[in-house]
Amino acid sequence: MHPYPHLYKVSVAAPAEGEVTLSGVDLPDLPLHAPPEFDGPPGYWSPETLLTAAVASCFVLSFRAIARASKLEWSRVAVDVDGVLERIEGVTRFTRVTVRARLTVPPGTDAARAHTLMEKAEKVCLVSNSLTAERHLEAEVVAG
């Protein structure tokens, strides 16, 4: 890992109406729009969906690192994230983020240990740690 601080840079370009283009160094451009909840068209990523995607992907990558360091064998993790956006006292913000994670492990794996490692992944996720929203983890371990 590189020493801190880390710097992440993106650029956004947009005409007066229509699609917004998100760009990053050595990354493909990503078309964005306001979400349907804010009268945007369906079928586009939005700042709101990108934030929830960042929580989900951060959980998965954090879990990978923790499982590797803990020598936990597993075959798959599936994560769904629900982000609740509300307007409170005139401010629109995410108030709650729920991570639902389902981990598949080999038969005979210590499910309690695997569950603890998923809890640790949620606690160390730098994206979730950067949010003021309430955080909830619903973790499930299944043998498969």
Considering the entire predicted model, what is its pTM?
A: 0.95
Which helix (H) or strand (E) covers residue 60, if one does?
A: helix 47-70
pLDDT the model gives residue 35 = 97
- List, for residues 53-92, the tens digit of each pLDDT value: 999 999 999 999 999 999 999 999 999 999 999 999 999 9
Structural domains in the chain, sorted by start = 47-143 (3.30.300.20)
CA distances from 113 to 62, 67, 70, 99 (A): 16, 10, 10, 19
- Tell me if 70 sits within 8 A of 44, measured CB to CB: no
How far apart are alpha carbons 42 and 40 in whole angstroms?
7
How far apart are alpha carbons 25 and 14 in whole angstroms?
18
